[in-house]
Amino acid sequence: MEFFNEATNWVLISFAIFAIGFLKLGRGALLGKLDRRIEEIRKEIETAESLRIEAQELLAQYQRKQRDAAREAEAIISTAQKHAAEIQKQAEADLDEMVSRKETQLQDRLKRMEEKAVQEIKTYAAELSIKATAEIIAKQMDQATNDRLVEQSIKAISAQLR
């Protein structure tokens, strides 16, 4: 009976009764709540796992797109460089052709200018010769010689006209 006189024993007995009652009455509710929490955690883990897998798939997809875009960019750059080289070659060919054409035109122009200058010099020399000859003839020719030369000229011209 001494056992029942001590307060510590009564606290121990009350705790044991409380624990047994709690286990009998609250065990189902506690286990149900723990099971629900475990199920929620399991669903969150599954959701996180599916999100991780989806994120990895998206990452792989974007990496493929990036590689494809890099290849496409390299192809575009390569094509652009080839096209630029072709344009440069064509421009150089066009420039060479234009320079050649200009040189030909300049040579033709110089030739025409030279021929014109020669023709002008010949014309001037002929006119000068005619003037000098006319002056010499005028000083040395008499009327009879003049008439004879005029007649010869008329005959020569009429013979050429026929």
**Half-sphere exposure of residue 16, counting CA atoms within 13 Å on the CB side?**
6
Supply the pLDDT for residue 1: 60
Supply the pLDDT for residue 105: 94
Judge contact between 127 and 120, C-beta under 8 A: no
Query: How far apart (Å, rounded) are the C-alpha atoms in residues 50 and 58?
Result: 12
* DSSP E strands, 42-128: none
Q: Is the pTM of this model over 0.95?
A: no
How many Cβ atoms from other residues are within 10 Å of residue 69's Cβ? 11
Residue spans of the chain under pLDDT 70? 1, 162
Q: Which tokens sit at 30?
A: 């506690």
